[in-house]
Structure 1
Amino acid sequence: MSDKVVLITGTSTGIGQAVAVAAAEAGCTVVATMRDPGRGDELRKAAGGIDIRAMDVTDPDSVLGGVAGVVADYGRLDAVINNAGVSVLGTAENLPMAEIRRAMEVNYFGVVEMTRAALPHLRATKGRVITVTSVGGVVGQPFNEAYCAAKFAVEGFMESLAPVAATVGVGVSVVEPGAVATAFVANAKVDPVAAVAEAGPYAPALQAYIDRTLGAYTTSQTAEEVAAVVLRALTAEPPVLRWQTSDWAQTFVATKITDLDGARVQALTSDWVR
């Protein structure tokens, strides 16, 4: 992989940072992007030689200019790894529309923007589009309507794009982690006590969901384990569309795939809120 130029979004913490390190250690030329490169000190310490650049996936000019800059500096682009994302906790009745739109802008439209900008260059190198989604892109989860809606949209976009991109030599994959021990949850900036106090009639259900979810994160995967799966997706021949990052994620996603009327998923997730 020493001749591969890989652009990764959302690399200041968590999965994105771990993927950047793993790709660099595998021999890739890594361009790691984040909204504020000043937050890149931890990444710089973890791996040398990584090119850290500013990029905001919700800003079309930032995306187009960023991709063009990579190609201008390195002469090629072999893969884009869409990882930038935000978490939004809450139910539709209580969430401001601005928060719901923000989830779509970052988690969906940002991915589409980046993919569109990269595709002409990936066609030239027979490259890859790898997108970190979530098991929440397959199974809808309580109090995650906005987040799961965006991830569902990404999954539909990539699943539809994959056969078309394949005709021009570009591989498309989605990687679906479950609970991962990263700063992603902390970055959501949710105060559980305040959230329950403000949840009105949904307070008991939200408290049950929070208790269950905090327990899940005590037995979660590491970001490095997820990064290893991303690297497998990057190199698999032929490309594989859908990757789960753990046995638990695989079992969870399989529940949806074999649940034709939705009853099994509803029975499963209803237990999370009571």
Structure 2
Amino acid sequence: MVADGTTRIVLITGTSTGIGLAAAVAAAQAGWHVVATMRDTAKSGALTAAAEAAGVADRVEVRRLDVTDKESVAACLEEVLAAHGRLDALVNNAGAGVVGTVEHGGTELFRTAMEVNFFGVVEVTGAAMPHLRATGGRVVTVTSVGGVVGQPFNEAYCAAKFAAEGFLESLAPVAASVGVRVTVVEPGAVASEFVASQELDIPAMVAAAGPYGPALESYVARTRGAFAAAQTSTDAAASIVDVLDAAEPPFRVQTSDTARAFVSTKLSDLDGAAVQKMTSGWVGR
């Protein structure tokens, strides 16, 4: 609650599975009223069940929101303001994974990744800002360690996450000047439906990769190892709630020691050599 006893309202995108679902439940447990949004509300069953199991179903409401549809964004925010009269925080969590390389995927691969992971963040954030200014609220955006370190065969995904981080890092001081705090939350490997939802046919991808086949096989082997020791969605969501509740939230937060170590390679790598050495090993060089 805020100082006058009013319940704080947070809107979270992409809550049907994974980190978004876990964040919605965790925020409700922390006392927030959660507007849990998703593109297809018919897929809200898992969230509803989790909220009921946690005893917070009365603090989680599901609304439709497609972050790639400007009218959908505007309609959802209008509904939230009509129902609650305020918005105290936005969590941009909706995202889409894209695997491939530019020679085969071309610009469409990049447009697909940018639409949700970048333009969706811009659209929802821009629409929410007037309401967050009114409450001295905050914007929390789930990016990725892939928004800091470019990763093989994730060219489009990393480009979109880099773009999101550049947008938010630039916005942060401007937003702060009107009382809104901005934070990016960077998970590493997370065991969630996000990975499974990509439905990748790895053998077919390797077969179609031509001269990139050996590098793709090496990358897949490395990535499977990383996800075998992945963080849970619940653990990653805890970092989001920490930021929501922090009196002075930082701009950049990683969700695990592994993510912190990974990102630190880039942030202290002035000429880029350390990152190139690390990721070259992933593709057998």
TM-score, normalised relative to structure 1: 0.98
Q: Which runs of 4+ in 1 moved over 2 A?
A: 96-99
Provide Cα deviations, 1:216-262, integer angstroms capped at 9, x if missing partner.
10101000001100011112121210000111111111110111110
Q: Which amino acid aligns with 1:159?
A: E
- Aligned equivalent of 1:146: 156
- Aligned equivalent of 2:111: 101
Secondary structure at the aligned position of 1:254 is classed as helix
Paired residue for 1:208, among 208, 212, 218?
Answer: 218
Paired residue for 1:129, among 104, 114, 139?
Answer: 139
Q: Which amino acid aligns with 2:81?
A: V
Q: Which amino acid aligns with 1:200?
A: G
Paired residue for 1:15, among 4, 9, 19?
Answer: 19
Q: Which amino acid aligns with 2:17?
A: T
Secondary structure at the aligned position of 1:81 is classed as strand
Secondary structure at the aligned position of 1:6 is classed as strand
Q: Which amino acid aligns with 2:220?
A: I
1:33 aligned onto 2:37: yes
> Offset at 1:99?
2.7
Q: Which amino acid aligns with 2:241?
A: L
Q: Which amino acid aligns with 1:219?
A: A
In 2: Cα distance, 1:239 partner to 1:11 partner: 23
In 2: Cα distance, 1:267 partner to 1:219 partner: 23
1:186 aligned onto 2:205: no
1:64 aligned onto 2:64: no
In 2: Cα distance, 1:99 partner to 1:14 partner: 23
Secondary structure at the aligned position of 2:105 is classed as coil
In 1: Cα distance, 2:187 partner to 2:211 partner: 31
Q: Which amino acid aligns with 2:16?
A: S
In 1: Cα distance, 2:107 partner to 2:149 partner: 22
In 2: Cα distance, 1:113 partner to 1:252 partner: 29
1:261 aligned onto 2:265: no
Give matches, 1:43-62, under 5 Å: 43-47=47-51, 48-49=57-58, 50-62=60-72
Paired residue for 1:117, among 104, 127, 137?
Answer: 127
Report which stretch shifted further, 211-220 or 95-104.
95-104
**RMSD of aligned alpha carbons:** 0.9
Q: Which amino acid aligns with 2:45?
A: D
- Aligned equivalent of 1:87: 97
Provide Cα deviations, 1:181-228, integer angstroms capped at 9, x if missing partner.
001111112111111111111000000000110111010100000110
TM-score, normalised relative to structure 2: 0.95
Q: Which amino acid aligns with 1:244?
A: Q
Could you tell me the percent identity over the aligned residues? 61
In 2: Cα distance, 1:262 partner to 1:76 partner: 44
Aligned length: 274
> Offset at 1:96?
4.3
Q: Which segments of 5 or more consecutive residues in structure 1 lack a partner in the other structure?
A: none
Provide Cα deviations, 1:77-111, integer angstroms capped at 9, x if missing partner.
00000000000001111114323201001000000
Secondary structure at the aligned position of 1:108 is classed as helix
Provide Cα deviations, 1:112-157, integer angstroms capped at 9, x if missing partner.
0000000000000000100000000000000000000000001011
1:3 aligned onto 2:7: yes
